[in-house]
Copies of this chain bind each other. A is one copy, B any other.
Amino acid sequence: MTPEEFRAAAHELVDWIADYRAAIPGRPVRSEVAPGWVRARLEGDPPEAAERLADLIEDLDDVVVPGITQTQSPGYYAWFPANASLESVLGDIAASGLGALGITWQSAPAVTEMEELVTDWLRELCGLSDSWVGSIHDTASTACLVSMLVARERATDLSEDRGGLQAEPAPLIVYASTQAHSSVPKAVLLAGFGRDNLRLIPVDPVTLAMDTDQLREEMAADAAAGRRPAAVIASMGTTGTTAFDPLERIVEIAAEHGAWVHVDAAMAGSALLLPECRPLFAGIEGADSFGWNPHKWMGTILDCSLLYVRDVELLVRVFSTNPSYLRSSSDGEVTQFKDWGIPLGRRFRAIKLWFHLRLAGAEAIRHRLRRDLAHAQWLAAQIEATVGWEVCAPVTLQTVCVRHVPDGVDDPEALDRHQQEWAERVNATGRAFITPALVEGRWIVRLSIGAEATQRPDVEALWALCQESALPDA
């Protein structure tokens, strides 16, 4: 395809994108296709001859769009905000057009140096000290695995350069709360620690944050038994209820054992952009690694996950592709991001953050985040004031966890079933998409506000829809 053919095709495609984005509010939020529906419509032999763009665009309309849950819809309140702001989409388009190869600094100095710039910008905008150095990964799952690998190697004085984990005598132990995201146990298992060496610490029944007395006791018991506490993962804004583990206390306890502290703030990290939310993260300056995703609430299109560490030299020693005797943190004058994580090849991810921040401006982003916090407070107040409804976890940020208790129903299982049923009735309308969740043994419904398009009237409509759906025969 020549640049001129591309020009014509790309104009057609961006018109399609603009039309698609404009039409999202009228579409069902949740994809309603059955398993296999998409594939059956795209099925066929591998294409031998060139096809026309128009045929692909027809498939986008007829198959792909119905096959996608509309996370950019004003009615999207499921899982977590997954904004793909159009400012960042432009940056992603620039990245695609440039087609740069990020393997070493030399292959694309701009890929490296813009990543250094934007991770520094975000650090400053989040009010973090300059002892933190950042890089971009695909997701928080990967950032957590990277952190666990560094923690493993620190605890073993770089066992990877000798006999590996098998040659280590005393078991290495990792701690996280029972409310930690599923990617946390996964990272611990992939790093080779083993499920027997993962301690899931109970949470406070009200705040759903880690019980640090339990943490202290378990770490002390492990150490007394000759096991080595290697790492603690603190969840800042759990997926279930946006609970914040007591980070300051965790850092103190971990320090007694020399354990690594990784802070997982995948969704809630965006709140650091707001000075008034920073007390939630008190203690962060004592942690060792910190990951959060601009690709969630803040709205830089997936995939854009930030990992900050303090000890870059150790990170590079663990992830370098050079033999240990050649390792240095910067190969002389330049940063080699290939030695900061798993992949060698690197897309130009920094440019979507750079576009997003420059085209939107930080002030507008903060304004939107504050709008979402206010929506959540407004909604929580409505719920609290309504008979038969309860807010069942602290509304720390933009997520409201709710239960509806119909008059006269008190069987726990019936109540659990009811939450799932009324949520499903909401979702079946196509006007909103919300997710029920099992939190510490009971079913609740999560209303995760924060889609970029969601305005106050949308939240009002959601609340009305929840009430209608909870009492369908009323």
Contact = CB atoms under 8 A, between A and B. Distances in A.
Interface of A: 1-7, 9-11, 13-22, 30-31, 33, 35-39, 42-43, 45-51, 53, 55-56, 60, 63-65, 67-69, 71-72, 79, 82-87, 89-90, 92-94, 96-103, 105-111, 113-114, 116-117, 121-122, 124-125, 138-142, 145, 149, 152, 159-168, 171-172, 182-183, 185-186, 189-197, 295, 301-303, 318-322, 333-334, 342-345, 347, 351, 354-355, 357-364
Contacts of A301: 96, 99
Given A67-B113, A97-B89, A361 B139 contact: no
A117 B38 CA distance: 10
A139 to B, nearest CB: 4
B10 A93 contact: yes
A116 to B, nearest CB: 6
A47 B360 CA distance: 9
A361 B49 contact: yes
B38 A110 contact: yes
A405 to B, nearest CB: 27
B183 A20 contact: no
Contacts of A322: 182
Contact of A68 (B11, B71, B98, B197): B98
A343 B139 contact: yes
A2 B35 CA distance: 33
Contacts of A31: 106, 108-110
B192 A152 contact: yes
17 contacts: A1-B359, A6-B90, A7-B15, A17-B98, A21-B97, A35-B333, A38-B110, A46-B362, A65-B98, A68-B108, A89-B97, A93-B93, A138-B345, A164-B193, A165-B165, A166-B166, A302-B347
Nearest to A335: B35
Copies in the complex: 2
Nearest to A15: B7
Given A3-B22, A21-B6, A67-B108, A48 B362 contact: yes
Given A51-B359, A358-B56, A109 B35 contact: yes
A89 B6 contact: yes
A-B complex: 5 closest residue pairs judged by Cβ atoms? A164-B194, A84-B99, A67-B110, A17-B97, A7-B18
B345 A47 contact: no
Given A46-B125, A364-B50, A1 B116 contact: no
Given A117-B39, A183-B321, A13 B86 contact: no
A47 B318 CA distance: 34
Given A99-B71, A160-B195, A303 B38 contact: no
A295 B359 contact: no
Contacts of A7: 14-15, 18
B108 A5 contact: no
Contacts of A56: 354-355, 358-359
B141 A343 contact: yes
Nearest to A23: B3
Nearest to A30: B106
